[in-house]
Amino acid sequence: MIPLAAHKLKFLNFSEQEEPFIIKLYEDKMLPVPLRKAGAYIITDDDIPDHYSCYICFDKKQAEKIIEQSKRAVCLDDNYKHLSNGDVVRINPANKSMRILYRRNSEHNSFLVTERCNHYCLMCSQPPKKIDDSWIVNEILETIPLIDPETKEIGFTGGEPTLLEDDFLRILQKCKNYLPNSAVHILSNGRKFADIDYAVKYSQIDHPDMMLGIPLYSDVSHIHDYVVQADNAFDETIRGILNLKKLRQKVEIRIVIHKQTYKRLPQLAEFLARNLLFVDHVALMGLEIMGFTKANMDDLWIDMHDYQHELVVATKRLASAGINVSIYNHQLCVLDKSIWPYARKSISDWKNDYLAECEMCAKQDQCGGFFSSQLLKPSNYIKAFDD
Ligand code: SF4
């Protein structure tokens, strides 16, 4: 969900007493009137159709027309011209704010389900908060029916989504009912699935394409528990993964590589090949410099050039065991050429960036580039390819 800065918005003809509401955006002048009444129209020219619940406008002339016609509108600057037909937003007239909940043209739509978590990972990009944010459940339940059913994938993150227990399962069930063709990808620490009853309830949703992305940082329990700053985490996570696979659920293992995890990457790959061969995907991921990572840089950051040996050994071991393996968030000029076939362009469009050096690079279109946050401290070995 993408919040818009309040100072960039201007509200016209809304009552400040009005409750926040979720609404779908349209660019269609011919939409049937009943649908218009439940939607917002993005103004594109001088011809403003009637009957929409409210309007999105971008310039002074449009705003003057809106005032003249006593319509309600949110005025945005040109940075938000990417809003388009089928997007869904939450408008809050009381504090004059708006959040983008879903972008139809993006391949990276994900919902933060809760900010609460039972881990406190050294490199958490979304530091947990002990707050009651249970209202988010209803917001997501209300948004799902407005999402285009042709959407390829919907993601759920936290915090830890399973802390919502059955409420989280209600969200997934609603995805299955309204968006049966959209893959669902969930980031979870997997511990809740050590509870077989919960794992069974999850499996009974019987979604045709739903995958849990579960982090595992070491083959040694105390190293994993140290990275996630939680006792018993390793044991519960492994039991959770075993329960899920017993119930034929899709599981992806996610390994973030940093100073605390790189040394045992080959042993972790061996552990996976011997004990969890049946997982559906393993993602070997570069560090995002967000949240707690910024505070723990000395303990975490290592130039990705300096762990290429471990990464090559781990990747090849996983691949030779027949495990589907991918490398995320690594730049091609630093990555050992022998493992390029496993590198994926994985960074969400709104977080993806490149260095000035990349402009001269012959392989820029094949390279996934950087998280915007990685530009704070990129590898010292970034070098454009000549051909
Ligand atoms: S120079 Fe930039 S675009 Fe080229 S491989 Fe390196 S990071 Fe990627």
**347 within domain boundaries:** no
Same domain, 203 and 255: yes
CATH number at residue 254: 3.20.20.70
**363 within domain boundaries:** no
Same domain, 67 and 188: no
Q: Which of 364, 366, 375 is the best mutation target for the ligand 1 pocket, counting ligand atoms within 8 Å of the beta carbon and taking the most?
A: 364
- pLDDT tens digit sequence for 82-99: 999 999 999 999 989 999
- Total domain count, the chain: 2
Does the Cβ of 332 fall within 6 Å of ligand 1?
yes
Cα–Cα distance, 75 to 239 (Å, whole number)? 51
**288 within domain boundaries:** yes
Same domain, 91 and 178: no
- pLDDT tens digit sequence for 150-189: 999 999 999 999 999 999 999 999 999 999 999 999 999 9
Return the bridge partners of 110, or none.
155
CATH number at residue 66: 3.50.30
- pLDDT tens digit sequence for 7-64: 468 899 999 899 999 999 999 999 999 999 999 999 998 899 999 999 999 988 899 9
The pLDDT of 183-200, averaged and rounded, is 98
Does the Cβ of 352 fall within 6 Å of ligand 1?
no
Give the residue, by CA position, lying nearest to ligand 1 atom 7.
Answer: 331
DSSP output for 184-232:
EEEE--SGGGGSHHHHHHHHHT--TTEEEEEE---SSHHHHHHHHT-TT
Give the residue, by CA position, lying nearest to ligand 1 atom 3.
Answer: 364
Q: Is 140 exposed, middle or buried (0-12, 13-18, 19+ CB in 10 A)?
A: buried
**364 within domain boundaries:** no
State which residues form the domain around 24.
2-102
Does the Cβ of 230 fall within 6 Å of ligand 1?
no
Same domain, 58 and 115: no
Same domain, 135 and 247: yes
**351 within domain boundaries:** no
Same domain, 279 and 149: yes
Of the three residues 102, 123, 151, the one that is the final residue of a domain is: 102
Q: End-to-end CA distance of the chain, in Å?
A: 39
**Unique residue bearing structure tokens 């009912």:** 177
Same domain, 87 and 161: no
**120 within domain boundaries:** yes
Same domain, 83 and 140: no
Ligand 1 centroid to 374 CA: how many Å? 13
